[in-house]
């Protein structure tokens, strides 16, 4: 029997987030970010989420092995009946699945080495193919590959911070909220509805009325209804793109340690405080040997790595950290 379960992912940027497109230049920005091809609104691709979360679950699992078992897979295999003895304070999802005894730090990676033509290097470097990381996120090893049980959607912007004369407010639109909301062209809705005019960045817009959103519309974002401004779908992309963070950095010559000539470059990023929304779907497979509850628990227990290691590029320059809000293992 196969089943599908999906969990909502709500996340908040703690730093500016830069998911690069690989050196495109738009206007005066050298390092541009990934955008939806149709709306032009920046996003975090599902592939970035799958890649980072894979790494973080592997890290959590690996760091839970007792020191004597960290490198020694043979020793782990000897503990046939007692998988829980391999770990310090094992979580349920670690000891529930026998395949976890084969896990190695190499399971964390994209596994480019599996493409290697050297038989020996395939043996040494490939994914283990057995552990919760490999089974959930997919693996390729030798002649065997498997596409995994988890599929991540893109994380799209749900609420985006902009400066107004009343302080920072978060804009959204009917489409981003996935709601039918009547709003006139070039006007905005606020929680009070009586500001007459309000600036969003440099753009001054007329307030049409109250937005009447409810607390449930805020998801687990921790924003308040008073923080939210709804703008028409026709304006949201333009306002977001006009209020992205643009940073100028200097390239350092690694040999001289000094700034290179003509080394100034600019990078755009999604600003801190932005709230994203997406989902992860889990497909039950494998005769139920590895169940979805354990997988979602593994995601939940490793989500805190996003707050230290982050997602995307330039994480050594203060970009990329974010917080996954809400629990992924709650029944939805
Ligand atoms: Zn593995």
Cα–Cα dist 95/265, whole Å: 48
- What is the model's pTM? 0.90
Instruction: Check if the beta carbon of residue 276 is closer than 8 Å to that of residue 13.
Output: yes
Burial of 23 (0-12, 13-18, 19+ CB in 10 A): exposed
Confidence of residue 32 (pLDDT cuts 50, 70, 90): confident
Which is nearest to 51 in space by CA: 130, 108, 135, 116? 108
The more confident residue out of 79 and 185 is: 185
- Find out whether 19 and 312 touch, Cβ atoms under 8 Å: yes
- For residue 167, pLDDT over 80 is answered with yes
Return the number of other C-beta atoms located less than 10 Å from residue 74's C-beta: 7
Tell me the average pLDDT across 9-38. 85
Distance 136 CA to ligand 1 centre (A): 9
How many A from CA of 231 to the centre of ligand 1?
A: 46
Ligand 1 centroid–CA 159 distance in Å is 36
Q: What's the gap in Å between 306 CA and the centre of ligand 1?
A: 21
Domain ranges for the chain, please list them. 46-153+283-325, 155-243
Q: pLDDT band at residue 114, thresholds of 50, 70 and 90?
A: very low
What's the 79 CA to ligand 1 centre distance in angstroms?
18
pLDDT tens for 213-272 read 999 999 999 999 999 999 999 999 999 999 999 988 777 777 777 666 667 888 899 999
Mean pLDDT throughout 155-161? 98
**108 Cα–ligand 1 center, Å:** 8
CA of 253 to the centre of ligand 1 (A): 39
The Cβ of residue 195 has, within 10 Å, a number of other Cβ atoms equal to 16
Residue 101 CA, ligand 1 centroid: distance in Å: 9
CA distances 212 to 65, 113, 209, 229, Å, are 51, 54, 9, 11
**Residue 132, pLDDT above cutoff 50:** yes
Residue with tokens 């005066």: 28
124 Cβ contact list (under 8 Å, min separation 6): none
Q: Cα of 147 to ligand 1 centre, how many Å?
A: 13
Q: Is the pLDDT of residue 122 over 50?
A: no
Q: Tell me how far the alpha carbon of residue 199 lies from the centroid of ligand 1, in angstroms.
A: 52
Rounded Cα distance, 130 and 195, in Å: 59
């Amino acid at each position: 029997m196969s089943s599908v379960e999906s969990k909502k992912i709500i996340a908040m940027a703690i730093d500016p987030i830069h998911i690069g497109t690989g050196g495109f230049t738009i206007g005066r920005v050298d390092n541009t970010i990934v955008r939806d091809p149709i709306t032009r609104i920046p996003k975090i691709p599902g592939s970035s989420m799958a890649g980072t979360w894979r790494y973080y679950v592997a890290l959590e699992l690996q760091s839970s092995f007792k020191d004597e078992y960290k490198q020694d897979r043979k020793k782990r295999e000897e503990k046939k009946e007692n998988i829980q003895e391999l770990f310090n304070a094992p979580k349920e999802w670690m000891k529930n699945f026998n395949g976890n005894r084969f896990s190695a730090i190499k399971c964390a990676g994209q596994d480019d080495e599996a493409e290697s033509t050297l038989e020996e290097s395939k043996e040494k470097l490939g994914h283990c193919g057995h552990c919760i990381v490999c089974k959930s996120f997919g693996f390729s090893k030798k002649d065997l590959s498997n596409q995994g049980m988890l599929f991540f959607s893109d994380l799209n912007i749900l609420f985006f911070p902009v400066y107004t004369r009343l302080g920072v407010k978060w804009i959204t639109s009917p489409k981003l909220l996935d709601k039918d909301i009547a709003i006139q062209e070039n006007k905005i809705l606020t929680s009070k509805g009586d500001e007459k005019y309000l600036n969003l960045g440099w753009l001054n817009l007329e307030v049409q009325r109250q937005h009447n959103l409810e607390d449930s519309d805020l998801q687990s974002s921790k924003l308040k209804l008073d923080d939210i401004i709804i703008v028409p779908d026709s304006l949201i992309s333009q306002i977001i793109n006009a209020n992205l963070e643009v940073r100028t950095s200097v390239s350092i010559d690694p040999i001289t340690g000094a700034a290179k000539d003509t080394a100034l470059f600019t990078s755009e990023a999604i600003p801190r405080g932005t709230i994203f929304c997406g989902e992860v779907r889990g497909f039950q497979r494998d005769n139920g040997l590895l169940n979805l509850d354990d997988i979602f628990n593994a995601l939940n227990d490793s989500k805190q790595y996003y707050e230290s290691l982050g997602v995307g590029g330039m994480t050594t320059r203060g970009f990329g950290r974010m917080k996954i809000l809400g629990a992924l293992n709650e029944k939805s």
